[in-house]
Structure 1
Amino acid sequence: MLSVAVIEDDPVQLELLASMVEDCLTDEGACVERCAGPDALVECLVRGFSPELLVADVVLGEPALAAEKGEGEPQTAIDLVKRVRALGADPEVVYVTGYEGYHTRAYETEHACFLLKPVEHSEMEFALGCALERLRRRAPRPLVVRARASERLVRPDEIVYLESNRRVVRIHLADEVVEAYGKLGDYEKRLDGAFVRCHKSFLVNVAFVSGHRTGELVLSTGDVVPVSQSRRRATQDALLEFLQSS
């Protein structure tokens, strides 16, 4: 199910936008959270809701009222998106605003579309379509695995580690092991930098590494995988690079 957050500080506009988003995403089975401002979105993140898509009003507050109170510029969704990404989330973003002057500032962050109010249903449908296409392009391509007499698709981010024994490669997922014929080196070429060849017989998804000690990696599943001396430095470098990019 697609997780979506709609951020708008005006209650009437919030309901209008959220209802339009729900209608446009009927076929996606989306879960749409209504957030009446930045704090409401942060609360959602704290309780574990991680939106894949944000539809956000750019200006969260009235510019004239903010100036009257001496508060300068009102808070913007552009700043909010920066905060959200700093917290580790990386949603696609559709900006909505009644102030055309923010069009340039929106490019301070990656976003799928920028809509001006009043938003037409067809415009929202187009913008969400762009955001969904960007999400699909970001999704890891599944591997085609030839297991026994059949073929199946396995998503790389579901793989904990792979081990080889002669011509058999055992692909360890969280809840099952898939056996296929082939060479571990061939799988290494097909998988991206999230995997490290820590041993001639083992290829590990670094996202599942919870710790390491001399000669082995400890995985979040409880498995322990050996690290050969010749591959120790490369394994440590791969772990460090993953931590810095996450």
Structure 2
Amino acid sequence: MSTKITCLIIEDEPPAMQLLEDYIRKLPMLELKGKFYDALEALEYLKKNAVDVIFLDINLPALSGLEMAALIPKEQKIIFTTAYAEYALDSFSFHVVDYLLKPVSFKRFLQAIQKLQTYISSPVVKEAPVQKQDQLLFLKTGRTVIKIQFSDIVYIEAHKEYLCIHTTQQKHLVYKRMKEMAASLPGSFVRIHNSYIINLQYAKKMSQQMVEIGGRELPVSAGYKDIFQQHIQQHMM
């Protein structure tokens, strides 16, 4: 990358501030433009100055990191830092590149910067809308073929060799593998567990460990947690 990535640190804990500053100075592609212990002071700086990425602590006095993120342009790239994992999904309602859990190791910091470089160098490609002829799913159940609208599917549950498709009206049991089903679904669907694929349109509440959907609380497994969070970020407006 020919030009440096400009950074801003907003962190109210001096040791955490110093750690991030040390990490940034270790990487020649980064340039630290400023550091603030208070979000309000940082907002004043950002009125006249632009940076590529903000390292933003969520737990700040007066104005929290999440509250500050809501006040700056949506396209501003942010790497959130915090000691509390439960804020992760809340943070993805913004243009979040990554989410660093304190204490941040240099290896984890470097992974976030590599992801940031990908974001900056790659143009944003919007997902193509599902065409009208692709809004239907035809599945064989027993000796009959059923037609299901993608928009009617709430979630899909694996039962050994079979899948139970929970729609807004009823359930359908079909002989199909989860991997094959996942490949045929449009962008509003995301796999959260070996046994579950959900339609985000019907999700009521989400956390690091579960999704409330269709009157049930479905688990988010560790193996799909990062993919799930990334999927949510990609579909935020």
TM-score, L = length of structure 2: 0.47
Higher RCO (C-alpha 8 Å, min separation 6):
2
User: Which structure has the greater CA radius of gyration?
Assistant: 1
TM-score, L = length of structure 1: 0.45
